[in-house]
Amino acid sequence: MAFQILLNIAIAFIWMLLKNNFTGVEFAIGYIVGLLLLFVLRRFLNFDFYFRRVIAVFKLIVLFIYKLILANIDVIKIVLSPKLNIKPGIIAVPTKLKTEWEVTLLSCLISLTPGTLSMNFSEDGKTIYVHAIHVPDKNEAIKEIHNSFEKAILEVTK
């Protein structure tokens, strides 16, 4: 992956030299040209096109912002309802993610969306203990985390 980025930057520099114009705009155009070249040649060069990961990161960010707004509205509803009609609890969320980096990212994302707060890890790092402000159904809450954030993180690091 690092090799591809290096190659891409090299193509951008060659583009700048060919145009004899050393500005940021030309660099950006060269970079895009390099991306297109890499995309076209990805089969012959025998590697995975790295820009797919960048797109996956953008997808993750958009998903996160969407969840953030949705969950904030939920918490505001709870705060403003005259009777506190909530069922809080700590749930154990098993995770398929392997490296520490991924688990940390997942727990940060869980913490940042309102309504859930990661509290602790199990010894082997396979389970995250999450305090949720309203869990009528435990399995559904776990499934939601699996289907949204874990899936998106797997897309990025796959």
Partner 1 sequence: MTEIVVSILILLGGAFSILGSIGIVRFPDVYGRLHAATKSATLGVICIIIGTFLYFLLVQELFIGKLLLTILFVFMTAPVVGFMVSKSAYNVGVKLWDQSIQDDLGKAIKKAEKKARQ
Given a contact cutoff of 8 angstroms between Cβ atoms, the answer to whether 53 and 1 are in contact is yes
Amino acid at 150: E
Classify the phi-psi angles of 46: left when phi > 0, otherwise alpha if psi is within -120 to 50, otherwise beta.
Answer: left
C-alpha dihedral (135, 136, 141, 142), degrees to nearest 10: 90
Burial track 59-83 (b if 16+ CB lie within 10 A, e otherwise): ebeeebeebeeebeeeeeeeeeeee
Given a contact cutoff of 8 angstroms between Cβ atoms, the answer to whether 62 and 155 are in contact is no
Asked if 58 interacts with partner 1 (CB under 8 A), we say: no
Residue placing its CB nearer to partner 1 in the complex, 21 or 122: 122
Residue from 19, 59, 138, 151 binding partner 1 (CB under 8 A): 138
Residue from 16, 117, 154, 156 binding partner 1 (CB under 8 A): 117
Beta bridge partners of 67: none
Residue from 9, 32, 63, 112 binding partner 1 (CB under 8 A): 112
Asked if 76 interacts with partner 1 (CB under 8 A), we say: yes
Residue from 45, 55, 58, 87 binding partner 1 (CB under 8 A): 87
Residue placing its CB nearer to partner 1 in the complex, 20 or 85: 85
Residue from 79, 124, 139, 158 binding partner 1 (CB under 8 A): 79
Asked if 148 interacts with partner 1 (CB under 8 A), we say: no
Distance in Å, CB of 43 to partner 1, minimum: 37
By rule CB under 8 A, what count of residues binds partner 1?
A: 36
Beta bridge partners of 116: 132
Given a contact cutoff of 8 angstroms between Cβ atoms, the answer to whether 28 and 35 are in contact is no
Asked if 75 interacts with partner 1 (CB under 8 A), we say: yes
Q: Which residues bind partner 1 (CB under 8 A)?
A: 68-69, 71-72, 75-76, 78-80, 84, 86-92, 107-108, 111-115, 117-120, 122-123, 127, 129, 131, 133, 135, 138
